[in-house]
Structure 1
Amino acid sequence: MAIPGLESLLGPGDPGPVQCLNPLGTAPFILTGDHAGAAIPARLGSLGLGDDALSRHIAFDIGVAELGCALSRRLDAIFLSQAYSRLVVDCNRDPSSHEAVPETSDGTPVPGNQSLSSSERALRISEIHEPYHARLANEVARRWRPGRRIVLVALHSFTPVLGEFERPWDVGILHAGGNESFSRRLLGAFAREPGLCVGDNQPYHMDRTDYSVPRHAFGRTLDYAEIEIRQDHLADKAGQRHWAELLCMAFEEAWRQ
């Protein structure tokens, strides 16, 4: 729970906000996991939630940390991920948005996020959200230059049922603005995979809700793709390996085109 008068959020036993795998990777892809982590700063306890809630999609994108690691190894690509639960602060939301620190997620109230003071909220932004995006911005700036192609790939997973709506898609590609060429080629590559239900801006439409891809890709007109995979497809090692293989093949085809 929030602690009145707290001057810092992260303590010596808490992980750093940014996890970086394979920082010297030579592939043209920058893999990200805005919601890959599930950590909660010790000073916040469990945010007033039980283990069942903290193991659900409301707390993190299930399977994305493992998928990102597998892709990083296969592609020789950097993988930057957020260590902390999206319930602490959502790094794919504008920090000024109320959704950045959600009071409720998919119908579940988050007691530790109720009635936060402006200073408590600001600590989550300054110690977790800002360092993550600063690290990502530095990586894009280090790798990008005019005439050199790089691709920002945001990895996410989604719950098969949201509210009462059953989502039929296996994978979705989100795109809306900036340089959509890689996203559209990736859609074509997945469409040629037999038996897959592929969502074009499904289960979400990229809009003003999204923060990471628009912030880091649109200004430089980088190639990008925001990928959503059903979380039950990534729930075990076999599924994670399978989707790493599918994504590698789709990336290769989209890159060649």
Structure 2
Amino acid sequence: MQSERLLGSEDPPVFRIVNPAGRSAVLLTADHGGRAIPRCLGDLGLSDRQRASHGAWDLGVDGLGLLLAARLDAFLILHNYSRLVIDANRPPRAPDSIVSHCEQSAIAANVTIGVAGRQRRLEELFHPYHRRIAAELEARQAQARASVLVTLHSFTPVLDDEVRPWHVGVLHGRDARLASRVRQGLQRERGLRVGDNQPYAVSDASDHTLVVHGEGRRIPHVELEVRQDLLATEAGRRAWAQRLAGVLEAALAEGLPPLPDGPASVG
């Protein structure tokens, strides 16, 4: 019989905070930074390879986040649980908030999940993470301290036989002020293929963190997607942390233009 609670005393915390007293305006998030699974769900019926794959988490983004937080002296929050349990960057009502398959394998605990089980995952694994992000941003606002939201992700070099040529994607929705500067800064580096809302685009239907905490609070924000093979080694992660830190610092150095009034469509 399933326990009333999803997480037990031996399960890791929902999220990890790094550099909580960071002085930078930048707040870093890694929504898919971990691949833990609550003990009561076992291995979800998946192989070790599947539970270590990109379907389970964003490979390399945890190491990138740690290095970037140190380089910028920035606050970093990493979600510790696999997106195969619940996706911390999907709106709760999105069909893929809790996925039914990993690769070609059905996830029995997800296929058969009922309303109560879904709510339990939201209450224990999704909402605490987002409440902590909101609390940090609200505390900064109360202190009249600037905030800039930077969400970190990685993407696979090949998806469904489609080769993705970009080294990095710069994503945004309604507010492209920071994303435009970051993209332009990255494009100055010879040989670097930079995607503009590629390989993914931000939308209300597919994204939660950037839409709710960035757009919703009308603070500067950008989502960065680095191709995961470029983050496979410590040297690669260090190179990308240095590159992204420099571009972010330059983009923010002169301040951003004011955000126009009124909503616009998300692409």
TM-score strictly above 0.5: yes
Out of 175, 181, 184, the residue aligned to residue 185 of structure 1 is 181
Matched with 1:167 is 164
Seen in structure 2, the aligned counterparts of structure 1 residues 20 and 142 have a Cα distance that, compared at 3 Å, is same
Matched with 1:141 is 138
Contact 1:170 1:230 in 2 (8 A): yes
Out of 226, 233, 236, the residue aligned to residue 236 of structure 1 is 233
Contact 2:55 2:103 in 1 (8 A): yes
Out of 147-156 and 179-188, give the one that drifted further. 147-156
Deviations 1:133-173 (A, max 9, x none): 00001011111369753210000000111112110000001
Query: Which amino acid in the other structure matches residue 181 of structure 1?
Result: R
> Are 1:203 and 2:193 an aligned pair?
no
Out of 116-125 and 127-136, give the one that drifted further. 116-125
Instruction: Please give the root-mean-square deviation of Cα atoms over the aligned residues, in Å.
Output: 1.4
Out of 182, 190, 196, the residue aligned to residue 194 of structure 1 is 190
Separation (CA, whole Å) in 2 of partners of 1:105 and 1:221: 35
Query: Which amino acid in the other structure matches residue 206 of structure 1?
Result: V
SS of equivalent to 2:122: helix
Matched with 1:218 is 215
Matches within 5 A, 1:91-170: 91-144=88-141, 148-170=145-167
Seen in structure 2, the aligned counterparts of structure 1 residues 107 and 140 have a Cα distance that, compared at 3 Å, is farther
Matched with 1:41 is 38
- Give the Å deviation of 1:98: 2.2
The ranges of structure 1 where at least 4 consecutive aligned residues each deviate by more than 6 angstroms after the TM superposition are none
Out of 40, 49, 53, the residue aligned to residue 50 of structure 2 is 53
- Percent of pairs identical after alignment? 42
Query: Which amino acid in the other structure matches residue 229 of structure 2?
Result: D
Matched with 2:264 is none
Seen in structure 2, the aligned counterparts of structure 1 residues 61 and 243 have a Cα distance that, compared at 3 Å, is same
Contact 1:106 1:163 in 2 (8 A): no
Deviations 1:104-145 (A, max 9, x none): 245443233111111111111100000000000101111136
Q: TM-score, normalised by structure 2?
A: 0.91
Separation (CA, whole Å) in 2 of partners of 1:161 and 1:109: 22
> Are 1:72 and 2:69 an aligned pair?
yes
Seen in structure 2, the aligned counterparts of structure 1 residues 112 and 253 have a Cα distance that, compared at 3 Å, is same
SS of equivalent to 1:153: strand
For structure 2, the residue ranges without an aligned partner over 5 or more in a row are: 255-267
Separation (CA, whole Å) in 2 of partners of 1:154 and 1:106: 25
Q: TM-score, normalised by structure 1?
A: 0.95
Separation (CA, whole Å) in 2 of partners of 1:253 and 1:108: 45
Separation (CA, whole Å) in 1 of partners of 2:40 and 2:143: 44
Separation (CA, whole Å) in 2 of partners of 1:55 and 1:145: 40
SS of equivalent to 1:130: helix
